[in-house]
């Protein structure tokens, strides 16, 4: 017997880690650039706060389905300030990670056979959830600068289309979508009565200072916009699964049904940690952002090593660099060769495009946030030694 899970592919990161089985890295340590999740624990002051609140009785009890009221209020204030908009706590829901935020949003929008326009290369968990939900993924290929084109999206809208999804800064490509492009997508979706889902998991590491778009300045944004966020990357809370949705109250009333059925409430400990982080770690987070930007610059500075071998840098930003390799070899085979010959674990572009999309066979994603600027030079030196 099979169910809806059989309608999608196996988890890509799990597959990539299987390539490490039987390999010996004792002579040359593995450089792992496959995954974006922080590998360091939360900063010591946050861990100390978490140790304190673990003693509080309500940390171990069910909480509100839409999240800790104080955290909803804090995120509403933060979002209003960042985007020069007007967001209230009633327009915020806390979720068990940003993946759940996406799943809840889709569940509130779609029925079997509906369509979602998804720019490709895509974040693979988005595609997996659409597959498992019986929703058709309408691919919107990104070429050149890896930024989706609203005009091309308009041509893909049908009477079954329910939403367009954007991820900025992008996973897997790293690119930051220009504010005018994001606004154009907003106007497109609004004019067709669709939702615009924008996943900004990596917004704390945006290279631009100030609001990355003007959507929350739109008078009736809540009728179109569904904004997703994650506390995991900002405060290293990946294991505690804390994400968020900002949307209209009518939308959140539908999303509440999904959340109550799936998890009842987010982790109380994770929510309290996220709240304390927002209130106390702005300087620390600013330094984290500056370090990521330093590593981004290291990608640029060291890329001539690969460029000399025919590689191209297609996209860069936040946690990711997206590359085109020069070989006839399929990217999946190349990724396995990198493990065996260079002790490098990276993900092939084929994991970020639909089956049969030939662009993926030429691409590789590098998640550089967990390696130092110095190690980026070592990484590229190793990759340059692999000839196919």
For the chain, give every domain's residue range.
4-41+284-384, 56-280
Per residue in 52-79, pLDDT (tens digit) is 999 999 999 999 999 999 999 999 999 9
Beta-bridge partner residues of 94: 244
* Domains 4-41+284-384 and 56-280 fall in the same CATH topology: no
Instruction: Report how far residue 51's alpha carbon sits from residue 349's, in angstroms, rounded to the nearest whole number.
Output: 41
Q: Of 343, 264, 355, 273, nearest to 24 (Cα)?
A: 343
- Chain centre distance of CA 226: 15
* C-alpha of 127 from chain center: 12
Please report, rounded to a whole number, the percentage of residues in the chain having pLDDT higher than 70: 100
Q: How much is the pLDDT for 1? A: 67
Res 210 pLDDT > 70: yes
Residue 118's alpha-carbon distances to 178, 236, 282, in angstroms, are: 18, 28, 33
DSSP classification of residue 217: G
Report residue 376: phi and psi, to 5°: -65, -40
Q: What is the reported pLDDT for 113?
A: 94
* Average pLDDT rounded to a whole number, residues 245-249: 98
DSSP assigned state of 61: S
Q: What is the pLDDT of residue 387?
A: 80
- Output the average pLDDT for the chain: 96
Q: Which residue reads 């935020």 in tokens?
A: 101
Architecture of domain 56-280 in this structure: 3-Layer(aba) Sandwich (3.40)
Q: Distance between CA atoms of 377 and 374, rounded to whole angstroms?
A: 6
Cα torsion 61, 63, 65, 68: sign? negative
**318 conformational bin, left if phi > 0, alpha if psi -120 to 50, beta if neither:** left
Residue range 12-50, pLDDT digits in tens: 999 999 999 988 999 999 999 999 888 899 999 999 999
What's the mean pLDDT in 165-170? 98
pTM for the predicted model, two decimal places: 0.96
Collapsing DSSP to helix, strand or coil, 21 comes out as coil
Q: Compute the average pLDDT of residues 320-349.
A: 96
The CATH fold of domain 4-41+284-384: 3.90.1150
Distance from C-alpha of 197 to C-alpha of 217, rounded to nearest angstrom: 16
Mean pLDDT of 267-272: 98
Under DSSP, is residue 146 helix (H, G, I), strand (E, B) or coil? coil
């Amino acid at each position: 017997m099979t169910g809806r899970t059989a309608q999608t592919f196996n988890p890509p990161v799990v597959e990539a880690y299987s390539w490490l089985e039987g390999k010996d890295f004792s002579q040359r340590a593995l450089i792992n650039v496959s995954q974006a999740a922080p590998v360091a624990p939360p900063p010591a002051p946050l861990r100390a706060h978490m140790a304190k609140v673990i003693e509080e009785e309500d940390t171990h009890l069910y909480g509100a389905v839409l999240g800790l009221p104080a955290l909803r209020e804090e995120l509403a204030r933060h979002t209003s300030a960042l985007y020069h908009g007007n967001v209230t706590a009633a327009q915020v829901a806390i979720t068990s990670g940003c993946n759940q935020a996406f799943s809840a949003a889709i569940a509130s929008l779609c029925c079997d056979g509906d369509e979602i326009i998804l720019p490709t290369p895509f974040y693979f968990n988005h595609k997996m959830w659409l597959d498992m939900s019986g929703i058709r993924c309408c691919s919107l290929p990104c070429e050149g600068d890896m930024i989706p084109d609203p005009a091309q999206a308009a041509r893909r809208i049908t009477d079954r289309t329910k939403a367009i999804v954007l991820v900025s800064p992008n996973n897997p490509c790293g690119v930051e979508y220009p504010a005018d492009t994001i606004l154009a997508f907003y106007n497109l979706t609004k004019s067709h009565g669709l939702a615009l889902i924008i996943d900004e998991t990596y917004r704390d590491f945006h290279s631009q200072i100030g609001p990355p778009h003007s959507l929350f300045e739109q008078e009736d944004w809540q009728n179109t916009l569904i904004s997703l966020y994650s506390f995991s990357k900002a405060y290293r809370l990946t294991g505690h699964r804390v994400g968020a949705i900002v949307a209209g109250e009518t939308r959140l009333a539908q999303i509440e049904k999904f959340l109550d059925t799936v998890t009842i409430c987010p982790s109380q400990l994770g929510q309290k940690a996220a709240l304390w982080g927002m209130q106390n770690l702005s300087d620390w987070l600013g330094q984290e952002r500056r370090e990521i930007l330093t590593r981004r610059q290291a990608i640029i500075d060291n890329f001539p090593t690969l460029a000399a071998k025919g590689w191209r840098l297609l996209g860069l930003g936040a946690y990711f660099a997206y590359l085109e390799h020069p070989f006839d070899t399929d990217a999946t085979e190349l990724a396995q060769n990198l493990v065996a010959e260079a002790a490098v674990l990276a993900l092939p572009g084929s994991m970020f495009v639909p089956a049969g999309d030939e662009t993926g066979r030429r691409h590789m994603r590098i998640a550089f946030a967990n390696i130092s600027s110095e190690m980026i030079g070592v990484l590229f030196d190793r990759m340059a030694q692999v000839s196919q």
